[in-house]
Amino acid sequence: MKICIVTGAFYPATYYGGPIFSIYNSARCLAKNGFHTFVLTTNTNGKNKLDITTNKYLELDQNLSVKYYSGGTATGFSLRMFLSLWKDINGMDFIYLISIFSPTTPLVLLLNIFFKKPLILSPRGQLGEWCLMQGSIFKKTWLKIFISPVANIITWAATSLSEKEMIKIVYPGARVEVIPSIINVEEFNVRSSERSYSIYSKLTEKNFEGKKIIVSLGRLHKVKGFDILIEAIAKVEKDDIVLLIAGEDFGERKKLEEIIDKFKLKDKVFLIGLVEGKDKIEFLRNADLFALASHHENFGIVYAEALASGIPVVASKNTPWQEVEKFNCGLWVENTPEDFANAFETVLKDDRKIMGENGRKFITERFSCNSIIKKYQSVFNTILD
């Protein structure tokens, strides 16, 4: 079976954060399990372009080929891709369309009606209430013109039960399957009894030995709720707790720095910029706790990466991570500084090693390739039948 993934951006366009890794992991997993996987995308990477060969298929792995179309804009639009989609899609057996508000989405949906191919549409959180409120008039118009006419005749892919509910609120008659994001467990599961503080010294030029280290990771955007984490640190009475926030600035850094100054937390809260690759893995696995106070997440792959790294997490109730409490690998709390402060103190009292092992087990059982590929196979077979 030839599966065609259509997305505005693809790995290594890491500027876009977690969704890029999620789509990449899914493509690799499908290819690994015998599906001939083709990705149609652009060379966009935020304000920059990927330094990569364009307009021809590149074989990234066995059964995985990617075509990066030139001219990609920040919105994921490429005129060359737009003009070539009909030819690319015609040769495929199954279409996996990522994003609702991508410029190419209407064309793909139209071509799909013409070619009559099975199609899955993955909104990746774009139908959540918080997301729809951002640019609401434009998005309502877009949905009415391009999505609503086909909403009940295609298959939707939600990354969590909560995202399924989001889709159902907008389109009650939609057929929705839950296909969680895939985590490359082996990449983060670095088992070592030795803990090192060197990564934190490298990133901050500070010595944190003897400290309880809370880390957070994500783009510095208001949706991530980093202001809540900082205010939570201000409410924690213990002096041995520090917070390190890693992520590229999306317009929020100045505000966060002002909050740090307001509460006099320059020795306890650090904004360290973008962390990637091996540094990211070390940043996670050597911490005592991961926390993120997102106002909205359809999945939130960084929570899973932290758990796969062997550290407990504190997640807000605006995310689909309530099962961390069931597996005893974290807490799921209201999105307030008070609740996060209490959660910090509670989790940091528990055995980090035991909670870490619980987290690894949770992620391996629920979100590894071996687990999720069965769901993909089931959904494909159902749609084809």
- The candidate with the shortest Cα–Cα distance to 1, out of 116, 109, 122, 96, is 96
Res 75: pLDDT:
83
Residue 190: pLDDT above 80?
A: no
| Predicted confidence (pLDDT) per residue in 261-285, tens digit | 999 999 999 999 999 999 999 999 9
pLDDT at 130: 86
Task: Please tell me whether residues 16 and 143 are part of one structural domain.
Answer: yes
Nearest CA to 226 among 212, 245, 200, 241? 245
pLDDT band, very low/low/confident/very high, at 333 (cuts 50, 70, 90): very high
Q: What is the mean pLDDT of the chain?
A: 94
Same domain, 144 and 8: yes
Give the number of other CB atoms < 10 A from CB of residue 274: 16
- Model pLDDT, residue 352: 86
Please determine, for residue 192, whether its predicted confidence score (pLDDT) is greater than 80. no
pLDDT, tens only, 126-145? 998 888 888 789 999 999 99
Whether 294 shows a pLDDT value over 70: the answer reads yes
Q: What is the mean pLDDT of residues 20-45?
A: 96
**Residue positions counted in the chain:** 385
Distance of CA 171 to the CA centre of its chain: 23
The confidence score (pLDDT) of residue 47 equals: 86
Same-domain check for residues 143 and 220: no
pLDDT (mean) for 49-63: 96
Do 89 and 215 lie in a common domain? no
Q: Are residues 168 and 230 in the same domain?
A: no
pLDDT at 156: 98
153 lies in the same domain as 206: no
Asked if residue 356 and residue 376 are part of one domain, the reply reads no
pLDDT at res. 191: 62
Q: Which of 17-21, 28-32, 263-267 shows the lowest per-residue confidence on average (mean pLDDT)? A: 17-21
Same domain, 265 and 204: yes
How far apart are the C-alpha atoms of 126 and 97, rounded to whole Å?
Answer: 13
* One domain, residues 137 and 226: no
Read off the CATH number of the domain in which 64 is found. Answer: 3.40.50.2000
Kindly state whether residues 244 and 373 are assigned to the same domain: no
Please, which residues have CB within 8 angstroms of residue 20's CB and are 6 or more apart in sequence? 9, 10, 11, 12, 13, 14
Q: How many CB atoms lie within 10 A of CB 250?
A: 16
Domain with 98, as residue range(s), is 2-182+368-384
In this prediction, residue 288 carries a pLDDT of: 96
Same domain for 327 and 351? yes
Q: Six-digit token pair at 292?
A: 């993120």
Same domain, 124 and 244: no
The total number of structural domains that make up the chain: 2
Residue 93, classed as helix, strand or coil, is coil
pLDDT of residue 193: 59
Global pTM? 0.92
